[in-house]
Amino acid sequence: MRLAVTTALAPEQAEREAVERVAVTYGWPATRRRGRSLAKVATDCDVDSLLVLSARRVVLWAGGVERLWAPGMGDLRLKRLLRGQLTTRDGMLDAAELRPGDAVLDATLGLGMDALVAAGAVGPGGTVVGLEASTVLAAMAAEGFHRHSSEAAGRILVVATDADSFLARTPPRSFDVVLFDPMFRHGRAQGGSFDLVRELGDAGPLTAERLLRARHVARRWVVIKDGAPGWDLARLDLTPLLSAPGARRLYARVAPL
């Protein structure tokens, strides 16, 4: 993907500064909009994609299609959590059993839905580090969190790197809980942000070696999500936690080493 960063049509100074900051962080060219259409900006910059930053929105433009960053159900789950209204089961929270003050490593960030909920669960004294191998997804998530209205979003640090590299250089027992949400073996017709993550994210399965590294980094446990019926959990010789009948998502929990 050949990508440049630009602004909305009538940017404020802070929006221009955000474009420059993101361009430097990820090594992408930055360009001013100057009233041009996005198609014209892309042609002039000789790129096929644009990350468009405004005060409230983060948009990936590619092939004439705009893809907006949004936390999706993560927003609703966070609001219910903060209001004490989680009347239905939240599989990730049930499996992770996060506590106030926890340090959480989300090793498969994507656009950050689970990370946002985790940040709400750990509270002001906690932290969440999100790893994303796709620099485009990492930038969208990081900038989306900057613009999110919740205090929880400010507790998430996005690191644009692959999980193997990060885990290899992280000291043992650095995080209370490590989360994995790898790509499901078979995609479902989800639409929206799910399609974007599937298109740009790391499609490789969770390996036994990566899980082993994560167990060294975790203090309490590692949590792995899989789509029903749990083929990848079985491949890793993991037993799913009890779930509701007909659940589409399964979770396993593994102790640290």
Report pLDDT for 211.
Answer: 98
Q: Of 21, 36, 68, which residue is a domain's last?
A: 68
Total domains in the chain come to 2
Q: What is the CATH number of the domain that holds 52?
A: 3.40.50.10480
Q: Are 131 and 217 in contact (CB under 8 A)?
A: no
Same domain, 184 and 169: yes
Same domain, 121 and 54: no
- Which residue type is seen at 222? V
Same domain, 52 and 79: no
243's tokens: 């779930």
Same domain, 176 and 60: no
Tokens 């946002």 appear where?
116
36 — alpha (psi -120 to 50), left (phi > 0) or beta?
beta
Q: Are 103 and 171 in contact (CB under 8 A)?
A: no
Cα 200 from Cα 88, distance rounded (Å)? 31
Report pLDDT for 184.
Answer: 57
Same domain, 38 and 133: no
Averaged over successive runs of 10 residues, the pLDDT of the chain (257 residues) comes to: 95 95 97 96 97 97 94 90 73 94 97 96 97 97 96 97 97 98 60 76 91 98 95 95 87 97
Q: Are 203 and 162 in contact (CB under 8 A)?
A: no
* Phi, psi angles (nearest 5°) of residue 162: -85, 155
Same domain, 63 and 82: no
Cα 91 from Cα 114, distance rounded (Å)? 10
What pTM was estimated for this model as a whole?
A: 0.94
Domain that holds residue 94: 73-254
Report pLDDT for 189.
Answer: 43
Report pLDDT for 193.
Answer: 67
